[in-house]
Structure 1
């Protein structure tokens, strides 16, 4: 279920991204205004959520491929799921500062 949810979330992000990027052809000033609204701590949290969705979707996709194409995949799918979750958590901890660092500096002024 999480794989499908993250896939839908990524699709909606890409849809919005294409729309706001296309705005530059219509009105560069409007594009600049929209992009300026993205420089907030709330959007930084949403970016972190996007990173979380992409990483989980990618890692779990590899697990799904292994389950489908490896003869022992179905037998080990639970262990592979927990491996995916463990790798995902480690990568998400590693993504904290690169993704949220600028938002924390903006909020706390350091």
Structure 2
């Protein structure tokens, strides 16, 4: 026979420390590189999809194709092109890092160092490529 009442069983035992909030994303640099790799991959896929569609349009209606190509000559599309360069550069560099992690026996050991090298090369590449893109955009729009 049980002597516990309903009031006794509904109380939680006291905790020595506050409950830790568990989340899926903990903010580790490797996790963020994974997320950025997926985002850049989806961005590149979307660009390629649009590119194939607008190129196929030339066979359907050359006039419509010419109109769409004219809309691509705006400053907003120029900024999107710069963003595409940034996305492709990161996706390519991080892809090489992922290949090294998977196929090099010391890859997992050095994966974090390789991430920082990828980020350094990526930032240098952004500075260089955006400088060139900026000069071309200035010539086109100013």
Report the TM range for the smaller structure's normalisation.
over 0.9
Q: CA deviation at 1:40?
A: 1.0
Q: Which has the higher contact order (CA 8 A, sep 6+)?
A: 1
Number of residue pairs the alignment of both structures matches: 108
Q: Kindly state the Cα deviation for residue 106 of structure 1 after the two structures are TM-superposed.
A: 4.1
Alignment partners' CA distance in 2, 1:97 and 1:25: 36
Question: Structure 2 length normalisation: TM-score?
Answer: 0.72
2:60 maps to 26
Structure whose alpha-carbon radius of gyration is higher: 2
Matching residue within 88, 105, 108 for 1:71: 105
> Which one has a larger percent helix, Structure 1 or Structure 2?
1
1:48 correspondence with 2:82: yes
For structure 2, the residue ranges without an aligned partner over 5 or more in a row are 1-34
Is 1:8 the counterpart of 2:42? The answer is yes
CA distance in 2, matches of 1:97, 1:63: 26
The answer to whether 1:86 aligns with 2:130 is no
Unaligned runs of 5+ in 1: none
